[in-house]
């Protein structure tokens, strides 16, 4: 699929948003999974960004000036989701601009000239980068949704959007499964001699982070 496809567990781990929250938002039509809304729910790569938007906007925040920023209203959340849905930027390209949301629910593009609204107006709001690593108040941290590690990639149109070793079709989840079966990093490299040691280390580290995200959310 060109848009990615993630189960609730993977969508929660990658976005950083608790799995129970994903399901609650789906049941209440706040964010319905766009790939498969019923039975086995599947979220898209764009849905991962939307999950971060909703979570961040609905939390109280502290601005860089130290001023407390109240949670945004649901109309602001829905505005942000509409604007995010209207984007036609290939977010998975290395040269893509950063996409940000402000506390009013307005989407911005971080271009070379500065942060702009979708109509090109320069602004400097309190914003959240939707692609960058994302930390929740529960303590989970969703990875960068383009490069979760320097030698790893996420591309919605490749491997269903699954994190993988750059320039290969080898998913990080497959390497973590081998580790769970008792193979050491050295043994894994014997199976895949074209891999560098650091690629294996980063893949295993990412999957450990994603597993922790689910554990943290479940305990919260």
Residue 1 has pLDDT above 50, yes or no: no
Residue 148 CB: number of other CB atoms within 10 A?
A: 24
At residue 145, does pLDDT exceed 80? yes
- What's the whole-number average pLDDT of the chain? 87
pTM (2 decimals)? 0.88
State residue 38's pLDDT score. Answer: 85
Does pLDDT of 29 surpass 80?
yes
pLDDT at 207 over 70: yes
Q: Which two tokens stand for residue 128?
A: 């959240």
């Amino acid at each position: 699929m060109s848009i990615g496809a993630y189960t609730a567990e993977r969508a929660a781990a990658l976005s950083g948003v608790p799995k129970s929250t994903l399901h609650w938002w789906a049941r209440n039509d706040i964010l319905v999974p766009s790939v498969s809304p019923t039975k086995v729910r599947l979220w898209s790569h764009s849905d991962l960004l939307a999950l971060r938007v909703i979570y961040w906007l609905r939390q109280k925040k502290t601005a860089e000036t130290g001023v407390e920023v109240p949670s945004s209203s649901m109309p602001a959340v829905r505005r942000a989701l509409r604007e995010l849905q209207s984007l036609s930027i290939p977010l998975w390209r290395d040269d893509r601009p950063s996409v940000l949301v402000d506390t009013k629910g307005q989407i911005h593009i971080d271009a070379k000239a500065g942060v702009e609204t979708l109509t090109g107006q320069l602004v400097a709001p309190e914003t959240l980068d939707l692609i960058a690593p994302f930390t929740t108040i529960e303590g989970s941290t969703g990875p960068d949704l383009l490069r979760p590690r320097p030698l790893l990639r996420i591309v919605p149109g490749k491997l269903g959007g699954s994190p993988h070793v750059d320039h290969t079709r080898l998913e990080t989840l497959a390497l973590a499964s081998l580790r769970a079966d008792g193979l050491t990093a050295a043994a894994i490299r014997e199976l895949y001699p074209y891999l560098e040691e650091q690629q294996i280390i980063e893949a295993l580290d990412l999957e450990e982070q994603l597993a922790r995200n689910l554990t943290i959310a479940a305990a919260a």
